[in-house]
Amino acid sequence: MTKRQVFYSFHYAKDCRRVQQIRNMGVFDGTKELSPNKWEEIKRSGDANVRKWIDGNLKYRSCTIVLIGEKTADRKWVQYEIKRSWELGKGVVGVNIHKLKDLDGSKSRKGRNPFKDIVVDGVELSKVVPIYNPQDTQECSAYNDIKNNISQWTDNGISIREAYPGCTQHLANEYQSSVENTNGFDFWGKILTAGALCFIGLLAYSKLRIRR
């Protein structure tokens, strides 16, 4: 069975170990894990390259899972990943991971809502994007609760996104990108090509009717 492809958004320095536990559950085909050195290298290359890396990794992903730790909401690139995911029509869902243990065996504090104050095309994400808080009891650890339910949580996030209208900002961004990169040739070339094919088809159909 093909695994759903998702994008993990998280605070790398603080929660890398916790996120690794979720990757190892094997529920999804997640974004490729980066080494600390590689992530720092990407960040040093400039904001434009970071955005390019994020946008490239969002391709073919159906949902962005924001893995929320103590400081996740304060991270600049987490905020970009959330906003960009919604613009691209991806499902978005939050999962609190502070109850998972770090390398030293310690848990963390619950982080604040990372969707607060993020508005895309008039949609206040904090009012529509669900955040799940796994239980952590003797009967069911936070790890097991996440493993057993994260697939359904992700489906819920996708269903919520599908209930909202098209991604106008995304279309505007893609058009602007085509203009900047190719002076509009690719964009308008496709439009003209499609128009020409339609014209040829109508012409052939008209000739066929005349012969009849």
**5 beta partners:** 29
In contact, 5 and 28? CB cutoff 8 Å? yes
What pLDDT, on a 0 to 100 scale, did the predictor assign at position 104?
A: 86
- 173: Cβ contacts below 8 Å, ≥ 6 apart: 87
Report the distance separating Cα 141 and Cα 149, nearest Å: 12
Q: pLDDT (tens digit, 9 = 90+) per residue, 10-45? A: 998 899 999 999 999 999 986 677 777 888 888 899
What pLDDT, on a 0 to 100 scale, did the predictor assign at position 29?
A: 81
Tokens of 172: 């505007």
**15 beta partners:** none
Pick the CATH number of 6-165 from 3.30.70, 3.40.50, 2.70.98, 2.50.20: 3.40.50
Tokens of 209: 């009717």
What pLDDT, on a 0 to 100 scale, did the predictor assign at position 58?
A: 95
Residue 158 pLDDT > 80: yes
